[in-house]
Structure 1
């Protein structure tokens, strides 16, 4: 069932594009660069080559190299290492441009394999006599996602006849040297470069969407420097299709289109039964166009870059935040007029043209030297479609090549891009003005909203609407973002200095702990001080309880007792302590007296008795008698 729905969607979209193509006289222009053969003399001359729509062409510059045509793996569909082939040049020698044949695999895969083997550029020879076409990255993005984003060398398609001449010269033993020249790939009519980006707000379309989103974030800082300095004029554009009148009431058109089928986008998931719908993408595309228009009216068109990058971060489809509510939050954080933006968007349900989207459909048709825009994403510089990878350095080169030599701004001559976005509305990030703390960080890629670390204390949050201090020491910084208040010299705080970082109202208060803590009336809510003789009075953060008459309140037992009874009991307790002390002293004296008296009497008796008889316990002693034996 899911496959059927996806096929049905694809058929409808294809039919819609066919109707669109037949309704206008448009054309696709192949962007070219000059390829000049410098040797051998037999094929010397200048030829056209079609710039590949991946890798990094050297806009504004040129590149010389020696052409190699491999003896094996000539279509470049396999890894050259498997054949023991290397295209790495020796020091001091010209780099190698690899010539491969068209067919059997994707253009991008051929270039990727040659790059891995050391090639500096790739020339693809067509296998039929036809007008040159633009080599694009494959639609089967999942199979090629691993290498498309990492291709960094330039590539070009050459016609079959020219390719055969190159092969013949190489097989004959000639060294074929060529020069790829991109210096005139972008015209430079005046001292200001005008460029436009054809983009899409859908962030779930695969590798190309991922590359586009990454580019917008990386290039934002440089784009705003150029725009603020008046060096460039940037305009964003969004491709829309329309549903044939015969199908406007169909389920597919209703889910993919607004304004009764006039402006449509494919279903993001290619499943009409779930997830987001194509009309959701159309509405966000329209909102982003109106953000640019309103910002442009205030002489700050560069704010579009802030909105788009912040929307990508805060409102992704995969987190189910791709909606009006999230978009409005981003708009407000950037200080834009929400009412003007909604007025610009108009009513998507009316059966009439939307002026903004109608203008976009007209702009999609090629004019002058620029062809129809049919590839997403597409960058147009001075009315020429850029070909190559959407990468900051490569795009900056392409834009800077639109200036006359010696007239380019300093940003074109230096890789350092400094901005001051945090000084304007704090970059739309969270800030605490009281503590002078902000989540805005100014980097070479532009501003980043990231909760800070202050004095070792880490703040946690999304960086846009909230940042809260967490962990030990957090209460020392603006009270941890918690409620606190001082009255009559007494301070209460909801900050708990622990790892959880929660704000909890202290005892005697209730509330969320962040915005407020209200005093609890313990006399009513806690039923404190309820004894019959008690009288309760609520205080800030606590309560006072008094007793009637000459009574004393005991809080632990919630009771009143007589102060006199307390004093009598205390006096008798003191008397008893004294009496007991005297008794103990008398008893001790008596025992001492008795012990000493008895010891004295025992010694006297023993002395008297020793005169009349020996004691068993003492030794024999001389008798004291008169000497009558003489």
Structure 2
């Protein structure tokens, strides 16, 4: 017979492994509720509480409208609906289907998975007993459940029994039951910075959830660092530890799983105390990762934690026997972190005293305010509310982004990982001009907005839902203002007159209403173009051409034909006349110059001769040039 102490030790160790094992699905988080509003029929219209499922992808920060349907067979949803020939896929233009199923006989997640495969957009599970709402959680992973849990993408919620009966009664009476699931208050957004924390673990050999956690950390590193570097978020990593009861601190089991004399423990990775890694190896690495965060935060670079944990996973995995201090030191060095500060932060794991870092972690595990205790891994907490849904980059980013005040979301919140783009489905119910590819639907993080757009500097105005029209100049830039336009034979014509605020009027050479059609006018017949006797007329699209017979040349301004030869002769004579006139003018000019100079010379000679015989009073005697004798 076993001793009481031996039995107690085994019970404790069993409890320790169970409570620390990340496979457990027990959580003491408070139930997260969202609003479910019945919009029709009138007699059951009103708001009701529902508990958000802890799997799938809740539409944090938004809402979803749908029509409730209750299947005639497979009402608990434990079998595939396809086996019964049931499909919940909504027809084009119809509201998405919210499938109502009953609780019992199988896991919540399996019910939702079967409904999702049949085309459901959301699932409501009606409780089978009158009780306070609980959180629908994932089952403990095994090979079969792991195949579908990670693929659940639709949201789900648990409703109480009485409300479920009310919905069933309305549906059985032939009523159309429309509801609206509202997640906008599931994650409050009081300011322009979101605070979130991830409860994680450095153990990479702990099954399905550890694989999921490791994959998430690697994938989410990029968005997390963008948010942190931009000051949009304040992130804090956390690690769960448990203590060993004082009675068993000297036992082999506690020594292998704990540090600081049983104060901080983690389960054995292989659940085998005789071989492989020990639980205290995990505690030490968790402590190291916490200190990496603290040292990086002190240097104003807290986002380096994401680099360390992802690099450590890649370079120091347990399966390669590299999960050790030496490998961690190499990662720390490669990231330029202060190894001495990290060692000092970690303290002495053999000391019989509290470790300040791990003591703070154990205190943080206890729920405060609206948040319950953290008992499972991984757990994500956003603005002090537990995240419920798939641990996947796009889903988590959407939840974090819903924690911002409206219009303060960073650009990463509008990336393809988050955007659902409601404008792709029936244009979001907004106005659109398919011909011009113009729409009033504007997709935002919290849903679409119907708002008349500004396109190429042209402003549209209207209600955004039923109509939008151009306001001001530039109407012809958008689909030719809705007027007729056509291209042919290298020519393009439009009936839109931008000078008259987009009035539709057929251009010259065409006739019609200017909106639906403009027909080419045959100017040769209708307007009798090219009327000269030597002319011939040929109609073209939007115009006409006139030609002359023989060597004649058509002059359009005068509607006449002239001889190309005569034109050339006249041109030649004109050139001759120009030359002759030029020569005549040059000769006349030369004659005038000659005449002027000759006359001046004669006058001077005559005056000299007359001065010899009749000197003037005002003129001195002029020498006799003729009789001038020189010695």
Shorter-normalised TM range: 0.5 to 0.7
Q: Give the Å deviation of 1:252.
A: 1.7
TM alignment of 1:584-623, pairs within 5 A: none
Alignment-derived partner of residue 58 in structure 1? 59
Matched, 1:134 2:135: yes
Asked if structure 2 preserves the Cα contact closer than 8 Å seen for 1:254 and 1:260, the reply is yes
Structure 1 residue 288: Cα displacement: 0.5
Tell me how far apart the structure 2 counterparts of residues 227 and 81 of structure 1 sit (CA, whole Å): 46
By how many angstroms is 1:349 displaced? 1.1
User: Which whole-Å CA distance do the structure 2 matches of 1:245 and 1:219 have between them?
Assistant: 40
Q: 1:415 to 1:140 in 2, by over 3 A?
A: closer
1:258 positional shift:
1.0
Match in the other structure for 2:375: 374
User: Is contact 1:67-1:96 (8 Å) kept?
Assistant: yes
Q: Deviations over 1:5-58 (max 9, x none)?
A: 9x9878525269899xxxxxx963111111111111222111111111111111
1:174 aligns with 2:175: yes
Label 1:77 to 1:224 Cα distance change in 2 as closer, same or farther (>3 A): same
Report 1:530-609 matches (<5 A).
none
Deviation sequence 1:63-102 (CA, Å, 0-9, x none): 0111111111111111111111111110000111111111
Distance 2:397 2:328 in 1: 29
2:349 counterpart residue number: 348
Q: For the structure 1 residues 9 and 180, does the alpha-carbon distance in structure 2 shift closer, same or farther, using more than 3 Å as the test? A: farther
- Structure 2 CA distance for partners of 1:222 and 1:10, relative to 1, 3 Å: farther
Indicate the SS of the match to 2:268.
coil
| Structure 2 residue aligned with 1:205 | 206
* Structure 2 partner of 1:393: 394
The change in CA–CA distance for 1:209 and 1:39 in structure 2 (over 3 A counts) is: same
Q: Distance in 2 between matches of 1:46 and 1:274?
A: 57
Q: Deviations over 1:541-593 (max 9, x none)?
A: xxxxxxxxxxxxxxxxxxxxxxxxxxxxxxxxxxxxxxxxxxxxxxxxxxxxx
Q: Deviations over 1:429-482 (max 9, x none)?
A: xxxxxxxxxxxxxxxxxxxxxxxxxxxxxxxxxxxxxxxxxxxxxxxxxxxxxx
Does the CA-based 8 Å contact 2:9-2:248 persist in structure 1? no
Q: Which residue of the partner structure matches residue 272 of structure 2? A: 271
How far 1:163 moved relative to its partner? 1.3
For 1:335 and 1:90, the matched residues in 2 are separated by 57
**2:231 and 2:285 mapped to 1: Cα distance?**
28
Deviations 1:119-161 (A, max 9, x none): 1111111121221111111113333111111111111111111
What secondary structure, in the 3-state scheme, does the structure 1 residue paired with 2:409 have? Answer: coil
Q: Distance in 1 between matches of 2:289 and 2:373?
A: 22
User: Contact 1:287/1:341 (CA < 8 Å) preserved in 2?
Assistant: yes
Q: Structure 1 residues 416, 144: CA separation in 2 closer, same or farther (over 3 Å shift)?
A: closer
| 1:339-371 residue CA offsets vs partner (Å, 9 max, x unmatched) | 111111111111111100000010111111222
Which residue of 2 is the match for residue 514 of structure 1? none
Q: Secondary structure at the match of 1:150?
A: coil
2:70 aligned partner: 69
Q: Write out per-residue CA displacement over residues 236-276 of structure 1, whole angstroms, 9 at most, x where no aligned residue.
A: 00111111111112222111111111111111111212221
Counterparts of 2:41 and 2:416, CA distance in 1 = 38
Give SS of 1:97's match.
strand
Question: What is the SS of the residue equivalent to 1:122?
Answer: strand
Contact 1:17 1:241 (8 Å CA) reproduced: no
Q: Is the 8 A contact 2:238 2:361 kept in 1?
A: yes
For the residue of structure 1 that corresponds to 2:285, the secondary structure is: helix
- Kept in 2, the 8 Å contact 1:366–1:372? The answer is yes
Q: 1:220 maps to which residue?
A: 221
Corresponding position of 2:236: 235
Aligned to 1:245: 246
The alignment status of 1:151 with 2:152, answered yes or no, reads yes
Moved more, 172-181 or 292-301: 172-181
**Are the structure 2 counterparts of residues 9 and 141 from structure 1 closer, same or farther at C-alpha, using a change threshold of 3 Å?**
farther
1: distance between equivalents of 2:219 and 2:104? 35
Residues 378 and 10 (structure 1 numbering): CA distance in 2 closer, same or farther, change over 3 Å?
farther
The alpha-carbon deviation at position 416 of structure 1 amounts to: 7.7
Consecutive unaligned residues of structure 1, counting only runs of 5 or more, are 20-25, 418-630
CA distance in 2, matches of 1:39, 1:88: 21
Please state if 1:189 is matched with 2:190.
Answer: yes
User: What whole-Å deviation, never above 9, does each CA across 1:510-537 have from its counterpart, x for those lacking one?
Assistant: xxxxxxxxxxxxxxxxxxxxxxxxxxxx
Alignment pair present for 1:32 and 2:33: yes
Give the whole-Å Cα distance in 1 for the aligned partners of 2:63 and 2:11: 41
- 1:251-290 matches, within 5 Å, as 251-290=252-291
1:275-354 correspondence to structure 2 within 5 Å: 275-354=276-355
Query: TM-score normalized by structure 2?
Result: 0.62
2:28/2:375 contact within 8 Å kept: no
Separation in structure 2 between the aligned mates of residue 11 and residue 75 of structure 1, nearest angstrom = 38
Residue by residue, what CA displacement relative to the aligned partner does 1:268-301 show, whole Å, maximum 9, x if unpaired? 1112122211111111111110000000010000
Query: Partners in 2 of 1:278 and 1:67 — Cα distance?
Result: 49
- Residues 68, 158 of structure 1: CA spacing in aligned structure 2 closer, same or farther, 3 A cutoff? same
CA contact (8 A) 2:394 2:417 kept: no
Find the aligned partners of 2:308 and 2:11 in 1 and give their Cα distance: 31
The CA distance in 2 between the partners of 1:9 and 1:307, in whole Å, is 37
How far did 1:116 drift? 0.6
> Which residue number in structure 2 is paired with residue 439 of structure 1?
none
Decide whether the 8 Å contact of 2:61 with 2:184 is kept in 1.
Answer: yes
Sort the Cα spacing of 1:144 and 1:11 in 2 relative to 1 into closer, same or farther, 3 A. Answer: farther
Mapped contact 2:259–2:283 kept (Cα < 8 A): yes
SS in 1 for 2:61: coil
Q: Is the 8 A contact 1:16 1:244 kept in 2?
A: no
Checking the alignment, whether the CA contact within 8 Å between 2:29 and 2:386 is kept in structure 1 is no
CA contact (8 A) 1:108 1:137 kept: yes
SS class of match (1:64): strand
- Structure 1's 126 and 165: CA in aligned 2 closer, same or farther, altered over 3 A? same
Report if aligned partners of 1:16, 1:241 keep a CA contact under 8 Å in 2.
no
Q: Residues 16 and 267 of structure 2 are in contact (CA less than 8 Å); yes or no, is this contact kept in structure 1?
A: no
Distance 1:262 1:162 in 2: 47
Equivalences for residues 74-85 of structure 1 within 5 A: 74-85=75-86
Alpha-carbon distance change, 239 to 37 in structure 1, aligned in 2, over 3 angstroms: same
Structure 1 residues 406 and 150 mapped into 2: Cα distance closer, same or farther (>3 Å)?
same
Question: Partners of 2:417 and 2:147 in 1: how far apart?
Answer: 29
User: Match of 2:369, SS?
Assistant: coil
Q: 1:392-541 counterparts in 2 under 5 A?
A: 392-415=393-416
| Residues 398 and 350 of structure 1, relative CA distance in 2, 3 Å threshold | same
Deviation of the 1:318 alpha carbon: 1.6
Distance 1:81 1:8 in 2: 50
* TM-score normalised over the length of structure 1: 0.62
RMSD: 2.1
Number of matched residues?
A: 406
- Structure 1 match to 2:434: none
